[in-house]
Amino acid sequence: MNPFKNLIMNYTRRNFIKGGTIAGVSALAMTEIVTSAFAEAKVGKIAIGQNNTILFQGDSITDSGRKKDNIDPNNTSALGNGYPMIAGSELLFKYPEKSLKVYNKGISGNKVYQLAERWDADCLNLKPDVLSILIGVNDYWHKHDGHYNGTVDIYRNDFKALLERTKKALPNVKLIICEPFAVPNVKAVDKTWYPEFPEYQKAARDIANQFDAAFIPFQSVFDKAVKSAPGVYWTGDGVHPSLAGAQLMAHAWGEVVK
């Protein structure tokens, strides 16, 4: 069970207003939050083709409770209960004629080097046409908490090596790089995260540019969202999204595909 479920449900009950609004903000306004974040970042889009395989990769934010013994595509339990399931189900709903396959292979706690250790089985062997990666918060967070000796240079170099390996094996793969994000002043995320954590975010942006990948500016999306509802509405600990936060992420993810 999501440890933040009761917190979010209680908050939602107190703040939900009939007529399609959340905390007094219309769904249209939330869409505009995502749109404005993307306009500022000048993000391009990628095309979803016939019979494409779409793979979500990353850490616990992507994992989101997925059943790892279920290897089938387009399966609810295999996709987890987070943004990949929401974004993937939207793709399948929107493009029934394209015979898409959607996989989620995120694993909780992963850093870039751990993606690399399982990359053949959990990425290259699946031969994705579209590869979406959200990685980086653990590369910083575990270092911050004294459980990892990584640096931003290690993160950058490991990430570049992973993508070079990927492009060599899958030269036509379409890449989506998601920005690692944190919501300040919510439990785990305090002032000690700054100014170092943004260096990891800049590295992710630079890598997306270098590899001609679509980039999802999640930090900007959440920064704008907290102007409409408190950070605890979107995430229980500053990193892992609530149900509303997962929907926000999925909506943002959908902005880069066509």
CATH number at 109 reads: 3.40.50.1110
Residue 77 lies in a domain: yes
List pLDDT tens digits, range 112-130. Answer: 999 999 999 999 999 999 9
Least confident range from 7-16, 116-125, 199-208: namely 7-16
Evaluate whether residue 53 is within a structural domain: no
What is the spatial distance between Cα 36 and Cα 222, in angstroms, rounded to a whole number?
12
Please check whether residue 21 lies inside any domain of the structure.
no
> Is residue 48 a part of any domain in this protein?
no
> Would the pLDDT of 224 be above 80?
yes
**pTM for this prediction:** 0.88
| pLDDT band per the 50, 70, 90 thresholds, residue 168 | very high
Buried b or exposed e, range 36-73, using 16+ CB within 10 angstroms: ebbeebebeebebeeebbbbbbbbbbbbbebeeeeeeb
Average pLDDT over residues 237-256: 96
For residue 25, pLDDT over 70 is answered with no
Residues 143 and 2: their CA atoms lie apart, in Å, by 25
Residue 76 lies in a domain: yes
pLDDT confidence of 258, banded at 50, 70, 90?
Answer: confident
* Domains identified in the chain, total number: 1
CA distances to 17, 165, 183 from 234, rounded to whole Å, are 17, 35, 8
Instruction: Tell me: pLDDT of 21 over 70.
Output: no
- Compute the distance between CA of residue 57 and CA of residue 206 in angstroms, rounded to an integer: 19
Torsion sign across C-alpha atoms 254, 219, 59, 154: positive
Domain that holds residue 193: 31-43+58-254
What's the average model confidence in pLDDT over 149-164? Answer: 98
pLDDT recorded at residue 37: 75
Is 209 within a domain? yes
Is residue 198, in this structure, part of any structural domain at all?
Answer: yes
Q: Tell me whether residue 17 is in a domain.
A: no
Predicted local confidence at residue 6, as pLDDT: 45
Measured distance CA(94)–CA(113) in Å, rounded:
35
Measured between alpha carbons, how far is residue 178 from residues 6, 83, 189, 249, 252 in Å?
Answer: 28, 12, 19, 10, 10
- The per-residue pLDDT for 34 is 79
